[in-house]
Amino acid sequence: QKLRSDRRRPNEATKHANEARMNAARKMNTSAKASAFNGASLAQRTVARTATANRRGFRLVVRAGNTNAQKAEYIWYDGLEGQKDIFFNEMRSKTKVIQKPIPAGSTDFPMWSFDGSSTGQAEGGDSDCLLRPVYSCPDPIRGDPHVIVLCEVLTPEGKPHPTNTRDRLANIIDKEITSEEPLYGFEQEYTMLGPDGRVFGWPEGGYPAPQGPFYCGVGNEAVYGRPLAEAHLDACIKAGIQVSGINAEVMPGQWEYQVGPVGPLELGDTVMVSRWLLHRLGEDMGIVCTFDPKPVKGDWNGTGAHTNFSTKSMRNDGGAKAIDDAVELLSKTHDKHIAQYGIGNEQRLTGLHETCDIGTFRSGVADRGASIRIPRQVEIEGKGYLEDRRPSANVDPYTVAYMLLETIFSRA
């Protein structure tokens, strides 16, 4: 009998201990303080921990005080487009969690910073670069209330970083330029690559049929990569980007989307966001998108960024004269434009595959072998716009916008 009583004692002790732990767990409430980045005020968060018993013991449930926090994807560019391996691009980004959501479209997002020594934008001894938000839009990948926040890069002293091409564009826009309401239409071509470096959809160890059936084609043998192109179009629309269309290009696996008509700063901002979206969606599909101007050597089209441009004077009746005057000015600054119209562009501007030789300036009506093309409809109506066919796909959109304003408004 004594032996049986001793055997019961450990069970009773365990029972009392379990009850004590359960009571303590029910009463346990802790308050934790968490500070936001950049010295923002401390935000109180209450975490309630509730323990409940089940047949195996305890289950801990954590209830966060704020489940409506906003993810803000801060994006910027490192200025090295075209200077890396073909698989890599210049877009960078990281996520900031904001406890009180800020509406998309606002630029009142907090400044942030990043390690510039890891992006080639600073030395290790003084590596912090600043991110100043300049544009935001809904995040079409994460959904509401999350946002994409485009930033310009500043030095630690708060001055424009050498890679900040947006700043000089903003500074050239004076009252005269504003009154002329310049508009751009940007034709962003790109080429899809598979993990092995081959153009997406191309046969292993060989080539597809010669160019001809692929431009604006349809069908399994004529088009490669449409799911990504369509997903990107949807994302741009949901983000509020003024995208105006897409099409399969001359080389299979090559695509184009168009942004515009938009003003100078909106051109740069939305093209950069659209490029980031393209690369981000490519992650999910195992596709790398490159803006290399000549990703496949030989008898294959290169990859460009034809830029359509107009002013109010060009669009008004009699605007043909303003267009002719602009073409004359562009002819005198050809070399200056070429120097800033993309790295590796000499491989694309050969005089073949719908291009003009890089050392030659030529304009013409409906001439896709010209440097500057005047659309046929513009000639018929006597007003409209011009198309600069020289920029390569990897060109900086802020630079294109700046160069056209500088030349056409004689700001050099």
Question: Given pLDDT bands bounded at 50, 70 and 90, which one contains residue 209?
Answer: very high
- Model confidence over 340-373: pLDDT tens digits? 999 999 999 999 999 999 999 999 999 999 999 9
pLDDT at residue 214 above 90?
A: yes
- Model confidence over 74-113: pLDDT tens digits? 999 999 999 998 899 999 999 999 999 999 999 999 999 9
Q: What is the mean pLDDT of the chain?
A: 88
pLDDT at residue 194 above 50?
A: yes
Q: Which of 12-21, 128-137, 271-280 has the lowest mean pLDDT?
A: 12-21
Average pLDDT over residues 32-41: 28
pLDDT recorded at residue 24:
42
Q: Let me know: does 306 contact 388? Beta carbons within 8 Å.
A: yes
Average pLDDT over residues 300-321: 98
Q: Let me know: does 377 contact 314? Beta carbons within 8 Å.
A: no
Write down the residue that tokens 């751009």 correspond to: 184
pLDDT recorded at residue 60:
62
pLDDT recorded at residue 67:
81
Average pLDDT over residues 174-183: 98
In 3-state terms, what secondary structure has residue 279?
Answer: helix
Average pLDDT over residues 393-407: 98
- Nearest CA-CA partner of 75 in 291, 285, 269, 342: 269
- What's the DSSP call for residue 37? G
pTM of whole model > 0.95?
A: no
Q: Which of 59-68, 300-309, 362-371, 390-399 has the lowest mean pLDDT?
A: 59-68
What is the Cα–Cα distance from 331 to 353, expressed in whole angstroms?
A: 22
For residue 393 the two structure tokens come to 């796909």
pLDDT recorded at residue 205:
85
Average pLDDT over residues 261-269: 98
Q: Let me know: does 255 contact 270? Beta carbons within 8 Å.
A: no
Q: Which residues of 169-206 are buried (b: 16+ CB within 10 A; e: fewer)?
A: bbeebeeebeebebbbbbbbbbbbbbeeebbbbbeeee
Write down the residue that tokens 């487009």 correspond to: 81
Write down the residue that tokens 């299979």 correspond to: 252
Question: Given pLDDT bands bounded at 50, 70 and 90, which one contains residue 126?
Answer: confident
- Nearest CA-CA partner of 93 in 277, 285, 311, 339: 277
What is the Cα–Cα distance from 233 to 245, expressed in whole angstroms?
A: 8
In total, the chain counts a number of residues equal to 412
Q: Where are the beta strands (DSSP E) in 319-369?
A: 363-365
- The CA distances from residue 347 to 25, 300, 350, in Å, are 70, 11, 7
pLDDT recorded at residue 296:
95
Please tell me which residue, 50 or 322, carries the higher pLDDT value: 322
What is the Cα–Cα distance from 215 to 358, expressed in whole angstroms?
A: 24
